[in-house]
Amino acid sequence: MKSPMQLIEEIIRAKMALHLRLVAHRNDGEMDIGGKSIDDLIAEVDAGIPSYERMLVFFKNKVAAELMESVEADGASEHPRKDVMHRRAAR
């Protein structure tokens, strides 16, 4: 099963590929696809990309925060005197 980050990355790649295909059709002289303007289709595809990028950043930040918390917890349990030394240095 894919993680949320992997799914979002796939969606972003698919939207970018669709954008490039639509631009190629427009460059070939086509003005519409299925009765809809290619420029309108490109705008629709592009409008959704930033929201997926924000979701991807959110999930990456969440994973990074969890990783940092676990590293800090492991570090504190491995070096109990380290915390005491930091408290003494802060005085």
Mean pLDDT by 10 residues, the chain (91 residues): 90 96 94 92 93 92 90 68 51 47
Alpha-carbon dihedral angle through residues 6, 8, 12, 14, given to the nearest 10 degrees: 70
Q: How far apart are CA 72 and CA 54, in angstroms?
A: 27
To the question of pTM greater than 0.95 for the whole model, the response is no
